[in-house]
Structure 1
Amino acid sequence: MEHDRPPPPGRSFRWRLGVPLVCLLAGLLLAATHGVSGGKEIRRGDAPRLVDLVRSTQSTVDRLTDQRDTLATAVRAVHGRGAGAALSAMRNRADQLAEAAGLEAMHGPGLVVTLTDAQRDANGRFPRDASPDDLVVHQQDVSAVLNALWTAGAEAVQMQDQRITAASAPRCVGNTLLLNGRTYSPPYVVTAIGDPQAMQDALAAAPLVTLYKQYVIRFGLGYSEQVSTDLRVAETPGPARMRYAVPAGPVDY
């Protein structure tokens, strides 16, 4: 006949001691959790959820968009009311001046002038008596070419890929060109629409261009003129902004 194996000595004592201890620890944990959460959901608390923030922001955007559209419709309904012929004349005049102001692209016959830094000779050397300043295109060289082209009656001028207007100010920084916040390296290409012969004559008569051509011969700087029957000059990017105005007197529309 088999008898049940008696428990090992001390087991019942450990069991009686462990159960109350576990219950006590569980109670302490629950009390600590309740204290941290303040009786609320511990994962969320008082902080808004991301999805709620997104929904609130989207609602604000939608409301402001509707408000903008309403105001734009009201402005369009009022704009020009009663102006009639005067407003139409002003718009026609603005269209006529847009081309001269560089707001529209142009194409036609003209001249392309290219300036570039000196190149090394067959042995990979520059002239011995040349200083670094003798071997690069300077701001005065670029300005001399631009001024000569304008003097010859150029209708539109572009340098690199940008239209040259009254607000343009080409600046040379070292051996690079800074134009309207963008930096360019040589060769510098100037495209001008107008009478090619008149522009060539103006370049030949310009003292600073003549001086540059002497450096071309002496130190190997680059210079070329190319006549074309159909050149394209880009429009000025972005709207034209007037910084100040001076009354010009009565305008005959």
Structure 2
Amino acid sequence: MPTTASTSVATKRAEKTGPVSGSTNSWRLALGLDTDAPRGAWSKAGFTGPRATLVVVTVGTEPSPRTGAHAPRRVARRRWIGWRIAAPTAFVLTGVLFVASAHNSEGTDLRPGRYTDLASLVSNESRQVSDLKHQAAALQAEVDRLTAGVRNQDVRDLRAEADTLRPQAGFTAVSGSALQITLSDAPADVINSSTQDIERMIVHQQDIQAVVNALWKGGATGITVQGQRIISTTGIKCEGNAVQLDGIPYGEPYVIVGVGELTSLTAALDADPYIQTYISDSEQPDIDVGWDLTPIASITLPAYTGLRDLHYASVLQEKPDV
């Protein structure tokens, strides 16, 4: 009968010395271990019947200690077990990465190619800021409505005082004569051909701030930059090649309008040394930074609609009306 196990057949001979019951070799003859015994020895020992030969069969898969024939099978088994453990682990880790990415993106695209140029990025961020400003305006209107309905006398007194300060704070529209100042970078051909410092050929945030501060100093009752009403807490800062106002980036040219008495506004600009240096640079052909001053007979500037810095608030205790 065929078998995959190794089979070894051996006929063992054993020589045993010493007396045994019956003939000395009778047990060897009975088991058929003494194949070289004389023909008559079997019957002389008192046994009859055919002789039997003991066949030793060894079945197993133990490898040869010299060659290690079965070692590849054990290695293959270890590799198979390793793959069975590694594959599920890899799938679990991949799932964890997908979940973490989805959680961190919050529904947005994390790929670096989301925007192909700066203009697209600026446009998208500007839309988001505009949407947030509309939401803030709606919430502020709701706050004003709820505040107006409060019957507490202290609240009424404080609200009346705040209403008298709204024009000075920039929360109401303002009309009157004005000065319009336009700042712009030097033309591209001048920038490319000039040996002057390029920083003197472009408009910086400090240039805009100098004009705004001079207009305030000249008695302006309202100022806009790029059509946006600014107040004392408005932030103006450079961000790359654009200037941000309350987080919204604007490119040049920068148009600044200040409402007030024209003579006082002009005198304040003429008295500012920083602005005079800027005007001097604008008159040099190899710098040619943009400066334009235009008087306006009458204009209406919108009220400030941006965010207001609220540091803290506390609930007033109700007091009975007197």
Q: Above 0.5 in TM-score?
A: yes
1:98 to 163, 166, 169: 166
Deviation per CA, 1:86-145, whole angstroms, max 9, x where unpaired? 554433322211111111121111111110000145xx7644212321210112211111
Q: Looking at both structures, which has the greater relative contact order when contacts are Cα pairs under 8 Å and sequence separation is at least 6?
A: 1
**Cα 1:101–1:207, aligned 2, differ >3 Å: closer, same or farther?**
same
Find the counterpart in structure 1 of residue 283 from structure 2.
217
Find the counterpart in structure 2 of residue 80 from structure 1.
151
Find the counterpart in structure 2 of residue 194 from structure 1.
260
Structure 1: tracts of 5 or more residues without a match: 1-74, 246-253
Normalization by structure 1: what TM-score? 0.59
Give the distance between the partners of 1:223 and 1:125, measured in 2 at CA.
16
1:147 to 206, 213, 230: 213
Matches within 5 A, 1:104-123: 104-120=172-188
Matches within 5 A, 1:151-162: 151-162=217-228
**Cα 1:149–1:132, aligned 2, differ >3 Å: closer, same or farther?**
same
Give the distance between the partners of 1:172 and 1:239, measured in 2 at CA.
19
Give the distance between the partners of 2:262 and 2:227, measured in 1 at CA.
20
Matches within 5 A, 1:155-194: 155-194=221-260
Give the distance between the partners of 1:132 and 1:173, measured in 2 at CA.
17
Stretch deviating more after TM superposition (229-238 or 146-155) = 229-238
- The 4+ residue runs of structure 1 with deviation greater than 4 A are 124-127
Count of aligned pairs between the two proteins: 167
SS, match of residue 167 in structure 1 = coil
* Contact 1:103–1:240 (8 Å) recurs in 2: no
Structure 2: tracts of 5 or more residues without a match: 1-145, 314-322
1:128 to 179, 185, 194: 194
* Contact 1:163–1:233 (8 Å) recurs in 2: yes
Matches within 5 A, 1:37-56: none
Give the distance between the partners of 1:189 and 1:99, measured in 2 at CA.
22
Structure with max Cα Rg: 2
Normalization by structure 2: what TM-score? 0.47
* Contact 2:191–2:201 (8 Å) recurs in 1: no
1:203 to 269, 282, 287: 269
**Structure 1 residue 215 displacement after superposition:** 1.2
- The one-letter code matched in structure 2 to 1:199 is L
Stretch deviating more after TM superposition (102-111 or 229-238) = 229-238
Identity of counterpart residues, as a percentage? 30
